[in-house]
Amino acid sequence: MPSLLGRSLERGLLGQLWDRWGRSPAVQLLACLLLGYLSYYAYPHPQLALGLTGGGLLLLLLGRRFGVWRWGSLLRGLLLLLCLLLARLHYGARLTELQQPAPPSGSYARAQLLAPSDQARSGRALLRLALLPEPVSGAKEPQATAEPSPSSHWLLELDLGDEVPRVGDTLLLRLGRMRGLEGYTEAGVAGYAHYLLSQGLSGRGRGEVLALSRCSSAQLLTTQPRLALERLREGISRRASELPLSSYTRQLALGMSLGSLGHDAEGRQLREDFVAVGAAQLLAVSGFHLALVVGLLSLLLRYVPGLSEHPRLRWGLLLVGAWSFSLLTGASIPTIRAALMLSLYLGAKFLGRPPSLPEIFAWPLVLQLLGLPESLHSASLVLSYVAMLAIYLFYGPIYRSVGRLQLRPLAWMWGVLAMSLAVQLLLFPLSLQLFGRSSLGFLLSALPLTAAACLLIPSFLGCLLLQLLGLPTAWLSTFVEYLGTSVRQLTEGLCLEALQLRYPLPLWALLLYYALLALGLLSLTLLREQRARL
């Protein structure tokens, strides 16, 4: 290893990496943001954070006094130190907002529905609600000792009865047993507390619906446009239930196309089937789905007369389509990441500048962590960006390893397999570390399930469009049903226990694997340069 690093320094490889990535302002800001967030757990008291920052400032000034730092380096160091402190304070403030005390059992509260209703394992409705900081008039029982903040979101199990609330409606509740994040941590289920935290939730509980107040779509659009989009998504899912599709195909199509996959028995079984064959990323809306929609939109725009002469207008329409799809599918972390990356890439083309890969990779992560600091605990965030890093590092070498393929269908199939292999080089051990299980079934399922998804998503969206226009959908629904049946047969046939690996990989082993992989890449780069010189 020392000789390998020594040769890398002689050839300037590490210097090139530092010049490209380490000197990028976006990468430096991202590093400060991550260090600031993680430092919250090292020294959670703000006074200690201010003291350490003051000590760092003193060291920078002493370095300048004795000629170690130049003015430019000193100013940059001060700015990065300030960013680190602000990041730590921002993260601490957000966690304080989320860690609300649980309201007492038997108290009354008003709550607004934030997402379409789901189903818990108990069979009751599972709702994401925002407890409103409003006094409830006429309540005979004692009120909660601490009023919830406007950002206090809870996951509640409720018996809804005949009236089903829509997104944006307000419910009058009598709260039952409530458990906050600290309650789950004290009960020894810190993993579930981290999951709730990553979703921006303050806890979970039960309750009883006493009254329901409807909110019109027009009022919701003017006051809370984000909830208006959620209601639109909810309405599309309900209209999809009118299509002549089986329950399995409808769940599959809604999950792949709109990210609306329930947690009922059928939804859990569908997730389990895709996890077992190593294709869980196809079931949740991600960057792949956004790329597919943007690719189809780009193909359609080619046939618009005169649009080829105005490339900036075409790029603008692609951005509108990408962001519309991202928001309509619930603004998940992977789709927002892909939309931000596409915006930066096309923005550079708008300005006539070459796209910068470090900026395209770092700025979306910076913006997502600033907007949702709790997403630092989200497995979706980690998996999404690690997958992009794996594609950048391994896809090209794997794809070129077989030479140039002349037949386009063969090249496409090898591209799908190369992409799956590249991603799994980093995600397979990461899945073992995060979830304690992973599957080798991706070797068999990647090609057929990706092809099915490429056909199913546009076909199902086409069914919804025909239904909206009042046109017949029977012929296209039949094709969607055929695809759904084929996917079901594939997943059931590939669910082989021999391909399942269940092992909770420790963190040190994951880091060791990544370090060895990095050294292997460095060795291959040196070998390639040596062969080029010969």
pLDDT tens-place string over residues 86-133: 888 888 888 888 888 888 888 888 888 888 877 766 667 888 888 887
Q: Of 503, 378, 509, 393, which is closest to residue 437 (Cα–Cα)?
A: 503
Domain shared by 208 and 114, yes or no: yes
Q: End-to-end distance of the chain based on CA atoms, in angstroms?
A: 24
Helix H or strand E segment including 211: strand 203-213
Q: Is residue 512 part of a domain?
A: no
Highest mean pLDDT range out of 79-83, 193-197, 276-280? Answer: 193-197
Give dist(CA 197, CA 373) in Å, integer.
10
Q: Is residue 393 part of a domain?
A: no
Residue 459: both structure tokens together? 């076909």
Give dist(CA 18, CA 475) in Å, integer.
56
Q: What is the pLDDT of residue 144?
A: 44
Structurally, the chain folds into a number of domains equal to: 4
Q: What is the pLDDT of residues 498-534, one digit of tens each?
A: 778 888 888 889 889 988 888 887 777 777 766 666 5
- The region that residue 351 occupies, defined by phi over 0 for left and psi between -120 and 50 for alpha, beta otherwise, is alpha
Q: What is the pLDDT of residue 364?
A: 92
Q: Domain boundary at 68, 98, 128, which? A: 98
Average pLDDT, the chain: 80
Percentage with pLDDT > 90 across the chain? 3
Q: Is residue 165 part of a domain?
A: yes
Q: Provide long-range contacts, Cβ within 8 A and 24+ apart, for 327-331.
A: 327/229, 328/229, 328/232, 328/233, 328/236, 328/258, 329/233, 329/257, 329/258, 329/259, 329/285, 329/289, 330/230, 330/233, 330/258, 330/259, 330/260, 330/285
Tally of residues, the chain: 534
Q: What is the pLDDT of residue 146?
A: 44
Q: What is the pLDDT of residue 500?
A: 80
What b-and-e string marks burial along 3-42, b requiring 16 or more CB atoms within 10 Å of the CB? eeeeebeeeebeeeeeeeeeebebbbbbebbbebbebbee
Domain shared by 128 and 197, yes or no: yes
Domain shared by 135 and 183, yes or no: yes
Q: 311 vs 3, which has greater pLDDT?
A: 311
Among the listed ranges 11-25, 49-63, 320-334, 518-532, which one has the minimum average pLDDT value?
A: 49-63
Q: Is residue 486 part of a domain?
A: yes
Q: What is the pLDDT of residues 300-310, one digit of tens each?
A: 888 888 777 88
Q: What is the pLDDT of residues 321-349, one digit of tens each?
A: 889 888 888 788 888 888 999 999 988 88
Q: Is residue 455 part of a domain?
A: yes
If one counts every other C-beta atom within 10 angstroms of the C-beta of residue 317, the result is 17
Domain shared by 269 and 204, yes or no: no
Q: Domain boundary at 362, 377, 392, which? A: 377
Please compute the mean of the pLDDT values over residues 141-156 and round it to a whole number: 61
pLDDT grade for 367, boundaries at 50, 70 and 90: very high
Burial of residue 473 (CB within 10 Å: 0-12, 13-18, 19+) is buried
Q: Of 467, 464, 416, which is closest to residue 292 (Cα–Cα)?
A: 416
Domain shared by 251 and 307, yes or no: no
Domain shared by 233 and 140, yes or no: no
Domain shared by 207 and 123, yes or no: yes
Domain shared by 243 and 271, yes or no: yes
Among the listed ranges 135-149, 179-193, 215-229, which one has the minimum average pLDDT value?
A: 135-149
Query: Contact at 8 Å (CB) between 213 and 169?
Result: yes
Helix H or strand E segment including 439: strand 437-439
Domain shared by 245 and 316, yes or no: no
Percentage with pLDDT > 70 across the chain? 84
Q: Is residue 407 part of a domain?
A: no
pLDDT grade for 73, boundaries at 50, 70 and 90: low
**Max Cα–Cα distance, the chain, nearest Å:** 88
Could you say which DSSP state residue 392 is in?
I
Q: What is the pLDDT of residue 340?
A: 92
Q: What is the pLDDT of residue 7?
A: 54
Q: Is the pLDDT of residue 370 over 50?
A: yes
Domain shared by 310 and 239, yes or no: no
3-state percent breakdown (helix, strand, coil) of the chain, nearest 5: 65, 10, 25
| Radius of gyration for the chain, computed over Cα atoms and rounded to the nearest angstrom | 26
Q: Is the pLDDT of residue 82 over 80?
A: no
Q: What is the pLDDT of residues 276-293, one digit of tens each?
A: 888 888 877 778 888 888
Give dist(CA 205, CA 191) in Å, integer.
17
Please compute the mean of the pLDDT values over residues 61-83 and round it to a whole number: 61
Residue 192: both structure tokens together? 């579930």
Could you tell me the CA-to-CA distances from 270 to 263, 471, 478 in Å, in that order?
10, 30, 21
Domain shared by 116 and 188, yes or no: yes
Burial of residue 423 (CB within 10 Å: 0-12, 13-18, 19+) is buried
Among the listed ranges 62-71, 391-400, 405-414, 432-441, which one has the minimum average pLDDT value?
A: 62-71
Q: What is the pLDDT of residues 199-252, one digit of tens each?
A: 888 888 888 888 888 888 888 888 888 888 888 888 888 888 888 888 888 888
Q: What is the DSSP string of 479-509?
A: HHHHHHHHHHHHHHHH--GGGEEE----HHH
Q: Domain boundary at 44, 77, 98, which? A: 98
Domain shared by 67 and 116, yes or no: no
Return all residues near 150 (Cβ < 8 A) that are at least 6 apart. 130, 132, 133
Q: Which residue range forms the structural domain that includes residue 33?
A: 21-98
Q: What is the pLDDT of residue 136?
A: 64
Q: Of 259, 261, 262, 270, which is closest to residue 293 (Cα–Cα)?
A: 259
Q: Is residue 207 part of a domain?
A: yes
Q: Is residue 311 part of a domain?
A: yes
